[in-house]
Structure 1
C-alpha cells in the first residue's frame, strides 16, 4: 500500500476510518429493496424471478468481478480502482431515483454490484498489509461495518417510505454514504506500483484444491445471506407482517451480523486455528434457518438474531482464515478475492433457488430448509482448515 510521511499510527487511523466508511456501502443496495418489494411490484409489475435479479445479478457480478479485480488492480492501481468503484457504486444507487421500470432497476443493481466487486477484492489485502498485527480485529471491524450497512439499508428504506418518500428516492438516498467514502478516499489513499499483485498469481492459486474448498464453503454460507436479504421480509409479509415490521426484522438480522462479525474474530485472535469458532457460526445459522422453516412465528426475533450472528461471524472469520493461508499480503489478498469471487457466484444462486422453490411449493419455507442443508455441508469443509497444513495446502497443485 501507499507510503506516507505521516506517523505510522496517524496514517493507520486514517486508513482504518476509510476502511469503515467504505465497508458501510457494500451491502445497503442488497438489503434496501427487500422491505419495499410490494411497492416495487405494484409500480413495475416485476415477478419473483425478476425481483430475485436485484440480489442475484449484483452477487454474480461481485463474483465475476472478484476474479477480474486482481488483474485490474495490477493494471490501474489500488487507489484509482477504488475511486472508480466507489463512483460506480454511488451512481448505481442514485440512478434508482429515475429508474423507469424493472429492467432499469436491475441495471442499477448491476452497477452497485460491479462497484462493490473491486472494493471487496482489494480491501482484505490492504488490511493484511497495513494492520499485520491486528488482522482479526480490523477484519472484524470491516465486516461489522459491512453488515451494519446492510442494517442501514433494511431500516432506512421503509422508514423513508413511511414518511412520504416514494421507494425510488428512498433507495437513491443510499448514494450519500458512497459519496462521503469517495471524498475520504480521494484524500487518504495514495498509490504505488508495489501495491499491485502479480498478474499470474490468480492462475497459480486456482490450481490449488484449497482455493476451491474456500470458495465452496464461502459460497454456500453466503447463499443463505443472499436469500435472507432478498426474501426474509417478503416471507414475513406473506405471514401477515407489515413492511415496516418485516424491515425491522431484516435490520435486526443485519445488526446481529455486524456485532458477531466483530466479536468472533476478536475472540478467535489468540489462536490461528479458527475451526471451533467456524463451527459455532454454523450452529447459529442452523438454528436460525430451522426456526424460519418450521416455527416462523414462535420467536422470529430469535431466529433472525441467531441467523444473522452466524452469517456475519462466518463471513469475517472466512476472510481471516483465508488471509492466514499465505504470509505475503498481496498473495493473501488475491486468495481472498478468489474466495469471494467464486463464493459470490455460488451465493448468487440462493435467491433464485429460493424463488424457484417458492413457485413450486407456494412457500418460502423449503428455501430455508435448503440453506439448512447447505450449512450442514459446510461443516465438513471447515474441518479441513487445520493451520498446521496451510503451507502444504497452498503448495499442492491439482
Structure 2
C-alpha cells in the first residue's frame, strides 16, 4: 500500500472502508419491511411508496454526474464528511417524521449523501489501495450489501420493540454518527486535497463523447437494477403470501448474506485474471435463475431463489466497479469515468423499483416485474462478451488522447 507502512494505519483504513460502506444502504432497505405500517399511517399508494426507494437512487445518479466538480470544490475529506452528515440528518428527521412528505424529503437528503460518497469511493480506493484494488472494492461492496441486509432485518425488530415504525428508520443515525467521527479522525491518507485541486489535475476524459462509457453506464444500470427492486419489494412480495413483517424482512437479510459472500469472493477470484467476462456471465446467470424461481416456485424454495439472486447481485456490483476501473490508468480518470457510469447507471436503477410498483398496481401481482428483470439480465449476459481485456484497455484511449491534445 505504498505510504501506509504503519500496521495500525493500514487496519484503520480497512476498518474505515467497511464502516463507510455499511451506511450506504440502510436509507433504502429499512423502508421495505415496514411498508405495511408506513402505508397504513401515511396513506401512501404502492406507486408513491416506490419513490422512497427510487428517489435516493435518482439522487445517486444526478450527484454522481457532477462528482468530479464536487470533488474539486469540496475535496475528498470534506466530500465524504458532508455525505455522512446528510445521511445522519435524514435518519434523525425520519425518527421524528410522521408524514409521507417527510419520508420523501429524507429520501432525497439521504440519497444525495449516499451519492456523494459513492462517487468518491472508487478513486479513493484506487489511490489508497493501489495494489489491492479488486480486494478493496470487494470489501467495500460487501460492507455496502451487509448494511442493506442488517437494515432490513433490524429495522422491523426495533420498530416492533418500540411499537413505533419511525424508530426502525431512525436507528440508523447511530452508525452514521460513528462513521462520521471515524472519518474525521482517521481519513484516508492523501485526502487532504480539499480545495487544492487545479483544473489541470481534472482535465476530463469526456465520457459523454465515448460510446464505451455510455455502454458501461447502461450495463452498470441493468446488471444492478434488480437490487433496488428486491430492496423495495421482496419483503412486500412475501407479505402478500401471509408472511410476517419480520419474516419477510429476514429473507431480504438472508439475500444479503450471499451478496456479501459474492462481493468478497468474486473480486478475489477476479484478481487472478484480467478477463471479467466469465465471472460476470456466472453472476448474471445466477440472477436469471433466481428471478424465474420467484415466479414459478416462490414458496417451494424461497431461500434458494433469494440466495441465487443475492449472489448474482453482490458479484455484479463488485465486478462492474472493477470493470470500470479496468478502463482507467489514473485515479483522476477513474473518478471521472466512475462518476459518469454510476450517474447514468443509478438513474437506470431508479426506474426499477418504480417500474415494479407500477406493474404491481397495474396487474395486482409482482410476477410481470420479475419477468422484466429476467429479460434485462439475459440481455446483459449477451452484451458481456464485448468487454474483453484488449477492448477495455484501448476503448477510452482515443477520447483521452483527443482531450490531452486539446488541454
TM-score, length basis structure 2: 0.93
1:202 is displaced (CA, Å) by 4.8
Q: For residues 369 and 22 of structure 1, what CA distance do their matches in structure 2 show?
A: 34
Mapped pair 1:170 → 2:151: no
Q: CA deviation at 1:377?
A: 1.1
- Which residue number corresponds to residue 387 of structure 2? 385
For residue 222 of structure 2, the aligned residue among 210, 220, 223 is: 220
1:197: Cα distance to partner? 7.9
Aligned to 2:347: 345
Spell out, residue by residue over 1:272-318, the C-alpha distance to the aligned partner (whole angstroms, 9 max, x if none). Answer: 11110000110110011111122111110111111011001100010
Structure 1 segment 122-271 matched on structure 2, within 5 A: 122-189=120-187, 190-192=191-193, 201-202=203-204, 204-271=206-273
Trace 1:27-46 onto structure 2 (pairs within 5 A).
27-46=25-44
Residue 347 of structure 1 and its aligned partner are, at CA, apart by: 0.5
TM-superposed deviation, 1:363: 0.1
Contact 2:85 2:176 in 1 (8 A): yes
Q: Secondary structure at the match of 2:44?
A: coil
* Aligned 1:87-106 pairs, distance under 5 A: 87-106=85-104
- Measured against aligned partners, the alpha-carbon deviations of 1:140-197 in whole angstroms (never above 9, x if no partner) come to 0000000000011100111112223411011100011011000001111241267778
Q: 1:259 to 1:107 in 2, by over 3 A?
A: same
How many Å separate the matches in 2 of 1:130 and 1:275?
Answer: 26
| CA positional deviation for 1:204 | 1.1
Cα distance in 1 between the residues matched to 2:367 and 2:84 = 36
Range with greater deviation from structure 2 (337-346 or 11-20): 11-20
Q: CA deviation at 1:238?
A: 0.7
Aligned match for 2:50, one of 49, 52, 77: 52
Q: Secondary structure at the match of 1:348?
A: helix
Structure 2 CA distance, aligned partners of 1:197 and 1:112? 29
Q: Deviations over 1:53-108 (max 9, x none)?
A: 10010000000110112101111211111111110111111110111310111111
1:283 aligns to what? Answer: 285
1:380: Cα distance to partner?
A: 2.3
Whether the 8 Å CA contact 1:96–1:171 is kept in 2: the answer is: yes
Counterpart-to-counterpart distance in 2, 1:198 and 1:166? 52
**Once the 2 structures are TM-superposed, how far is the Cα of residue 125 of structure 1 from its aligned partner?**
0.6
**Counterpart mapping for 1:304-343 below 5 A:** 304-343=306-345
Alignment of 1:54-93 (within 5 A): 54-93=52-91
Change (3 A) 1:202 1:353: farther
Closer/same/farther in 2, CA of residues 108 and 327 from structure 1, 3 Å limit: same
TM-score (norm 1): 0.95
- Tell me the distance in 1 between the aligned counterparts of 2:133 and 2:85: 27
In structure 1, stretches of 5+ residues that fail to align are none
Q: Cα RMSD over matched residues?
A: 1.9
**C-alpha separation in 2, matches of 1:240 and 1:277:** 37
Alpha-carbon separation, structure 2, partners of 1:241 and 1:221: 28
Give the conservation status (yes or no) of the 8 Å contact 1:208–1:395. no
2:201 and 2:332 in contact (8 A); partners too: no
Q: Give the match's secondary structure for 1:163.
A: helix
Native 8 Å contact 2:207 2:214 kept in 1: no
Question: Which residue of the partner structure matches residue 405 of structure 2?
Answer: none
SS of match in other structure, 1:383:
helix
On the 8 A contact 1:93/1:173 being kept in 2, the answer is yes
> 1:23 is matched with which residue?
21
Contact 1:12 1:130 in 2 (8 A): no
Paired with 2:321 and 2:254, the residues of 1 have a C-alpha distance of 23
Where structure 2 has 5 or more consecutive residues not aligned to the other structure, the ranges are 403-407
Secondary structure, in 3 states, of the residue corresponding to 2:97? coil
SS at structure 1 position matched to 2:206: helix
Selected match of 1:298 from 297, 300, 304: 300
Partners of 2:242 and 2:279 lie apart in 1 by 36
Q: How many aligned positions are there?
A: 396
C-alpha distance in structure 2 between counterparts of 1:107 and 1:198, whole Å: 37
Question: Deviation per CA, 1:216-275, whole angstroms, max 9, x where unpaired?
Answer: 011112221111100010011111111111000011111211111111111111111111
Aligned-partner Cα distance in 2 for 1:155–1:35: 8
CA gap 1:282/1:192 in 2 versus in 1, 3 angstroms: same
Contact 2:35 2:236 in 1 (8 A): yes
